[in-house]
């Protein structure tokens, strides 16, 4: 939800894991799979969310609004500069942001743990079908399923242990009501003719920004607040587990605070 939302210049939300039932959906990696939706209009976006959650709007003020300094660093200087005005909009609503280090040097390990666990669960869900039907996959998908079939069980077990540590770290950062601001993506949507190796490298960088919420089962919204080289670029905000409605309200408040184009 978050990456395509950033690419397309729309709002997209990854909801708290398990908050909205997935009965009837085809699984990929059940311990990560979650429901989301897109919209251009933040009011409509919030209305859809309140229907799905069966709750009221949450306009409560966050405890702190934190800026993930290391994740902006991972996204790169070009993306960081492009998002400066977007960060300023958030600060204009909630006050100055406190910069923090979320993961630091362990970021590649967080990304790799996501790859291992997701691949393991995807093979568990679809491996028998793949062996039986031998489907034709596109570039990238084919290689990832082939790797998933040969995973080292000890590595997967270690990845699950690391995921537990990530979950504890994210809960520590967010507490009951803090928000964490970070880039959604390391750049704009790649071109269709991007070489495979370059595309895989970009995907790995994107996972470094996206895996924290996935590991911890947290809600994360991408809001279309910036552009780079004439293309959309999203700013993300992560909320505590189960506080999805805070993110719906945030998107609406940002829209209300943005002057209409005349």
pLDDT tens track for 183-202: 999 999 999 999 989 999 99
Which of these, 93, 60, 59, lies nearest to 181 by C-alpha position? 93
Q: What is the pLDDT of residues 153-190, one digit of tens each?
A: 999 999 999 999 999 999 999 999 999 999 999 999 99
pLDDT, the chain, mean: 95
Residue 112 domain flag: no
pLDDT-derived band at 257 (thresholds 50, 70, 90) equals confident
Residue 19 domain flag: yes
Residue 107 domain flag: no
CB atoms within 10 A of CB 212: 27
Which residues neighbour 244 within 8 Å (Cβ) at sequence distance 6 or greater? 13, 15, 16, 19, 49, 53, 219
Residue 141 domain flag: no
Q: Where are the alpha helices (H) located in 83-195, listed in sequence order?
A: 84-94, 107-133, 141-148, 153-174
Bridge partners, residue 38, by sequence: 12
Does the pLDDT of residue 24 top 70, yes or no? Answer: yes
Alpha carbon distance 155, 119 (integer Å): 12
pLDDT-derived band at 140 (thresholds 50, 70, 90) equals confident
Does the pLDDT of residue 77 top 60, yes or no? Answer: yes
Helix/strand/coil percent split, the chain, to 5: 55, 15, 35
Which residues neighbour 85 within 8 Å (Cβ) at sequence distance 6 or greater? 225, 226
CATH number of the domain within which 41 lies: 3.90.1300.10
Residue 48 domain flag: yes
| Domain extent for 65 | 2-102+166-257
**How many structural domains is the chain composed of?**
1
For residue 209, the model assigns a pLDDT of 97
Going by the DSSP 8-state scheme, the letter that residue 6 receives in this structure is H
Residue 157 domain flag: no
Asked which of 51-60, 69-78, 134-143 is least confident by mean pLDDT, the reply is 134-143
Residue 213 domain flag: yes
Q: What is the pLDDT of residues 95-121, one digit of tens each?
A: 999 999 999 999 999 999 999 999 999
For residue 259, the model assigns a pLDDT of 58
Alpha carbon distance 1, 40 (integer Å): 13
Average pLDDT, stretch 32-47? 96
For residue 261, the model assigns a pLDDT of 47
Average pLDDT, stretch 241-257? 94
Residue 153 domain flag: no
Going by the DSSP 8-state scheme, the letter that residue 219 receives in this structure is -
The CA-to-CA distance between both ends of the chain, in Å, stands at: 30
Going by the DSSP 8-state scheme, the letter that residue 105 receives in this structure is G
CB 74 within 8 A of CB 184: no
Element (H, E) at 12: strand 11-14
Which of these, 83, 91, 88, lies nearest to 65 by C-alpha position? 91
């Amino acid at each position: 939800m978050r990456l395509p939302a950033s690419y397309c210049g729309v709002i997209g939300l990854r909801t708290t894991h398990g908050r909205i039932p997935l009965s009837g959906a085809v699984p990929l990696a059940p311990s990560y799979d979650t429901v989301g939706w897109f919209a251009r209009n933040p009011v409509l976006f919030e209305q859809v969310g309140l229907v799905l959650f069966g709750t009221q709007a949450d306009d409560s003020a966050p405890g702190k609004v934190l800026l993930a300094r290391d994740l902006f660093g991972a996204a790169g200087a070009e993306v960081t500069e492009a998002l400066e005005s977007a960060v300023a909009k958030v600060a204009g609503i909630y006050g100055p942001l406190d910069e923090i280090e979320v993961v630091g040097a362990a970021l590649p390990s967080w990304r790799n743990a996501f790859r291992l666990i997701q691949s393991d669960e995807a093979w568990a869900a679809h491996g028998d079908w793949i062996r039986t039907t031998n489907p034709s996959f596109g570039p990238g998908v084919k290689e990832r399923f082939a790797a998933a079939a040969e995973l080292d069980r000890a590595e997967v077990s270690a990845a699950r242990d690391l995921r537990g540590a990530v979950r504890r770290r994210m809960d520590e950062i967010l507490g009951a009501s803090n928000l964490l601001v970070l880039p959604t993506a390391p750049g704009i949507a790649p071109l269709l003719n991007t070489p495979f190796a370059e595309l895989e490298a970009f995907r790995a960088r994107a996972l470094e920004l996206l895996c924290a919420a996935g590991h911890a089962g947290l809600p994360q919204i991408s809001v279309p607040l910036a552009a780079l080289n004439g293309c959309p670029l999203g700013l993300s905000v992560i909320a505590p587990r189960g506080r999805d409605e805070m993110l719906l309200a945030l998107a609406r408040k940002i829209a209300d605070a943005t002057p209409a184009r005349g």
